[in-house]
Amino acid sequence: DQQVKQNSPSLSVQEGRISILNCDYTNSMFDYFLWYKKYPAEGPTFLISISSIKDKNEDGRFTVFLNKSAKHLSLHIVPSQPGDSAVYFCAAQASGTYKYIFGTGTRLKVLA
Amino acid sequence: ETGVTQTPRHLVMGMTNKKSLKCEQHLGHNAMYWYKQSAKKPLELMFVYSLEERVENNSVPSRFSPECPNSSHLFLHLHTLQPEDSALYLCASSRNRGRDQPQHFGDGTRLSIL
Q: pLDDT category, B39, cuts 50, 70, 90?
A: confident
User: Is the pLDDT reported for residue B56 higher than 90?
Assistant: no
How many CB pairs below 8 A link A and B?
Answer: 52
Whole-Å CA distances, B79 to A6, A56, A82, A98, B48: 34, 46, 42, 29, 20
Q: Please indicate whether, in this complex, the C-beta atoms of B104 and A46 are within 8 angstroms of each other.
A: yes
User: Is the pLDDT reported for residue B17 higher than 60?
Assistant: yes
* Average pLDDT estimate for B74-87: 94
Q: Please indicate whether, in this complex, the C-beta atoms of A32 and B99 are within 8 angstroms of each other.
A: yes
Helix intervals (H) in chain B: none
Gap from B48 CA to chain A (nearest CA, Å): 9
Closest to A98 in 3D by CA, of A34, A39, A17: A34
Distance (Å, whole) CA B61 – CA B46: 10
Structure confidence at residue A98 (pLDDT): 80
Q: Please indicate whether, in this complex, the C-beta atoms of A46 and B103 are within 8 angstroms of each other.
A: yes
Q: pLDDT category, B2, cuts 50, 70, 90?
A: low
Q: Give the residue from chain A lying closest to B94, CA to CA.
A: A98
Residue B90, SS3 per DSSP: strand
Gap from B64 CA to chain A (nearest CA, Å): 20
* B88: β partners: B37, B110
- A101–chain B Cβ distance below 8 A for any pair: yes
Structure confidence at residue B100 (pLDDT): 78
Structure confidence at residue B65 (pLDDT): 94
pLDDT tens, A59-90?
999 999 999 999 999 999 999 999 999 999 99
Q: Give the residue from chain A lying closest to B42, CA to CA.
A: A104
